[in-house]
Structure 1
Amino acid sequence: MSSQREKSIEAAASGRCKADPNSDARTGWRNLAAFWVLGLCNNYGYVVMLSAAHDILNRDSTVVETCPEPRNSTRSCNQVSTGAILLADILPCVFIKLTAPFLPFFVHARMATCVLFSATGFLLVSMSDGRLIMAVAGVVITSLSSGLGEVTLLSYSHRFSKSVISTWSSGTGGAGIIGALSYTWLLYFLSSKDTLLAMLVVPAIQAITFWLVLTHPEPTITLVTDNGGVGSQEQIIEAPKMSTARKIRLVPGLLKYMIPLGLVYLFEYFINQGLMVNVILLTFEAVYYYIPTIWIVFTLVLWEGLLGGAAYVNTFYRMSKEIPWEQREVSLGIASMADSIGIAMAGWLSMPVHNVICHLPLPQRVGS
């Protein structure tokens, strides 16, 4: 009976109890597409800030350093590692993910804050004009927007079909490619300032998608009474309210999901900073000057992204199936902090390794 009750709740939450099957199918695809776009927009600013990290640091001439002579090196290094931008981009995200799951869940107010913060972040970084503090403040605000958006939309996803987890994850992964490529492409035509201003279209798309494209379910879950089958009488079932203490007690049971996910993101973002690849390649420098073809790098990055995305989507998909529905909204939000903690650890590790690699002499190609 409890299993049948659970299925009825899931059907109601994902809108499958509607009378018109064609309308239901259209709504399903619309929500899947909306979560993909929301995932893209939510992570877009975060990715762009990482892509622009070196440019942000170079705007202040006091932080630029070329490795000193007489080393055989042409590396252009920053006294402040790009890992510092990674930390500015992730630590506020960690903070918001540590706190938001334990606060009241006002989804519309949260998303309005996300859109406002995202736009403000782009504006601050674009207008920093060499003022590093202003640029970092913009990165921090963008990070807050991304973190709040992720914890909110992952929690909100439990009211829809489980498939939205897959499209959300795909959208966040797409942000990595689309964000980096769009930033690089726009720099061919615009200044870095105008490029970031042009990206104000992203929070606008995020707002349009959330309030006009996504079909929002009722704030409560509709469950048919008596035998749990489809009938004419409906009862409104409220998910039980949880105290902060009860939410905290859920954390130990979620560690089996959070620890593996955190480790995946620790190693992935350590690689993304170009550090682990450099460490590995240093052992082959007697044969190659780094790497013989860029396509090897592309292949490694593609494989890394596939592994990270698979870990992310499978973690939250399993949670959406294994965790009782009354705990699911809070649990999804709590577990979302795992990836950000892993990324923050990667940022800390990247800075000392960056300093070591920066001051190593470049190798000579064999036969040169």
Structure 2
Amino acid sequence: MQVESDTSKPTPIDTIPTAVRRRNVISFLILGLCNNYVLVLMLSGAQDLLAKDDPAALAARQNHSDHCLEDLNARHCTKTSTGLVLICNILGSLTIKAIGPFFIHRVPYGVRLLVVCSAQTSAIFLAALAPNVPLTLVGVLVASFAAGLGEMSLLSLASHFPRSTILGWSSGTGLAGLAGSLIYAVLTDVRLLAFSSSTALLLNLAFPVIYFITYFVVLVYPSTVKKACLFSPSSWFDFKKSSKVSPNYQKQINEPNTQKINKMEIFKGVSKFYLSIFIIYFSQYFINQGLLELTLFDCTRAFGMGPAAMYRYYQVLYQTGVFISRSSLPFFSLNLCMILSLPWMQASLMILFCINTFIAFIPHFAVAAGLVFIEGLIAGSSYSNIYNHIYKSYDIASRERAVSYVASADGFGILLAAISALPVHDTICKVPLKHIWN
């Protein structure tokens, strides 16, 4: 087997056969799916993972006794907010994205992906088999590291391919959210397959294998990606400073009419997008990991579902909205005014759910689930349309810097949401529950 780096004689992107283009788009869709899938599993099973240090909750899950709530006059709080899982779910990714740019270009893509697949496999085993929460959270951290390394590597690799591969990647990452949350819900729902959380996680070990096969077997590399021998450790790290870039990139930055924009102008131009993504990701993850586990309904208003089932299907509805909106870009796009209105819509939903945890006015699970679905639509639309707008607004020489400025906004928004969710969860749980419906 061979792994790659970044040099060799270029092959013009325009000469790639149509069949190969389609194969690579499908490959990037599958890579996007597998890269984010394990992280989604961790978030979907957050309550189950944290139950390991709560004997009563653990016994209830092991006995499949997620009964619907007959009475909502009292709070039904978990020992720890699922925001704790979210912190671990973003820290690993943020760390590698922060330090990676200083050295990662010297590590061949194939070596990086071997690390990613190995880390994903280790993360699943750790999260599934660890006897306590701290070791389980180490597994979540490892999964986060793998997702971050995979994302930064594959987005960089995509510069060697036609732009259509990015559309495949975007749809794949959206599909990961839907598939991961839905599969976990089906596997663990007491009315369906009723597997334990550990068994459900272990059954998903196939995804790192699919990731590996897709990258090393299915994907067709252009000649700009040099191959290095797997059994030659000296080729696993490039100590020589390389100035090679993709042919399409080099062609466009050498065009005489390419407009050069200085760093400050780029930063000012994309600052509105940075703020938008930060607000949207903070709002949606504060809802998902801080408020939804407290948005509960009794038997008659929740289709007979218990708290754990409600939480899982909230995640499914959210990820469905994300997938639909991320996949809609080839059919229609939003203008700048609509894009900039999305964060305030998301923040409004966060305020609504926050008020509802103190004074419950949402009358039924179906209504709350519908709002969560809208939340997902907003999240996916913002992600795809903001990056599409940047792509259209900047020439290729400035676009890479513009994207790099905006890329960290989601991570910092998620991290702040996770940190905020912990004290807010504890505060809400100490306040008596009031509701206006009877």
**Structure 1 length normalisation: TM-score?**
0.77
Partner residue, 1:179? 180
Asked if 1:296 corresponds to 2:367, the answer is yes
Q: Which amino acid in structure 1 is aligned with residue 101 of structure 2?
A: P
Q: Secondary structure at the match of 1:347?
A: helix
- Offset at residue 59 of structure 1 (A): 0.8
Partner residue, 2:96? 96
Task: Provide the rounded CA distance (Å) in 2 between the counterparts of 1:208 and 1:293.
Answer: 44
For 1:245-324, list aligned pairs within 5 A: 252=267, 255-275=271-291, 276=350, 278-282=353-357, 285=360, 288=361, 291-324=362-395
Structure 2 unmatched runs, 5+: 1-9, 59-71, 225-244, 255-262, 292-349
- Offset at residue 128 of structure 1 (A): 0.5
Partner residue, 2:156? 155
Q: Secondary structure at the match of 1:139?
A: helix
Partner residue, 1:48? 41
Contact residue 14 and residue 161 of structure 1 kept, 8 A: no
Contact residue 253 and residue 397 of structure 2 kept, 8 A: yes
Asked if 1:60 corresponds to 2:60, the answer is no
Contact residue 13 and residue 159 of structure 1 kept, 8 A: no
Partner residue, 2:338? none
Task: Provide the rounded CA distance (Å) in 2 between the counterparts of 1:193 and 1:128.
Answer: 9
Q: Once superposed, what is the RMSD of the aligned Cα atoms?
A: 3.2
Deviations 1:95-143 (CA, angstroms, capped at 9, x unpaired): 11112233242322222111111111001111102x2221011000000
Contact residue 169 and residue 309 of structure 1 kept, 8 A: no
Give the 3 Å change call, closer, same or farther, for CA 280–160 of structure 1 in structure 2: farther
- Offset at residue 319 of structure 1 (A): 3.8
Task: Provide the rounded CA distance (Å) in 2 between the counterparts of 1:181 and 1:51.
Answer: 9
Asked if 1:140 corresponds to 2:215, the answer is no
Contact residue 165 and residue 313 of structure 1 kept, 8 A: no
Partner residue, 1:125? 127
Q: Secondary structure at the match of 2:78?
A: strand
Partner residue, 2:237? none
Partner residue, 1:227? none
Higher deviation after alignment, 182-191 or 145-154: 182-191
Partner residue, 2:111? 109
**Structure 2 length normalisation: TM-score?**
0.65
Give the 3 Å change call, closer, same or farther, for CA 273–26 of structure 1 in structure 2: same
Asked if 1:343 corresponds to 2:414, the answer is yes
For 1:211-250, list aligned pairs within 5 A: 211-219=216-224, 221-222=246-247
Q: Secondary structure at the match of 2:222?
A: coil
Q: Which amino acid in structure 2 is aligned with residue 292 of structure 1?
A: P
- Offset at residue 256 of structure 1 (A): 4.9
Task: Provide the rounded CA distance (Å) in 1 between the counterparts of 2:377 and 2:153.
Answer: 24
Q: Secondary structure at the match of 1:210?
A: helix
Contact residue 57 and residue 63 of structure 1 kept, 8 A: no
Instruction: Report how many aligned residue pairs link the two structures.
Output: 322
Task: Provide the rounded CA distance (Å) in 1 between the counterparts of 2:217 and 2:404.
Answer: 24
Task: Provide the rounded CA distance (Å) in 2 between the counterparts of 1:308 and 1:202.
Answer: 25
Q: Which amino acid in structure 2 is aligned with residue 342 of structure 1?
A: G
Task: Provide the rounded CA distance (Å) in 2 between the counterparts of 1:259 and 1:269.
Answer: 16
Identity fraction in percent: 32
Partner residue, 1:229? none
Partner residue, 2:15? 17
Task: Provide the rounded CA distance (Å) in 2 between the counterparts of 1:279 and 1:29.
Answer: 45
Task: Provide the rounded CA distance (Å) in 2 between the counterparts of 1:112 and 1:327.
Answer: 31
Give the 3 Å change call, closer, same or farther, for CA 74–304 of structure 1 in structure 2: closer
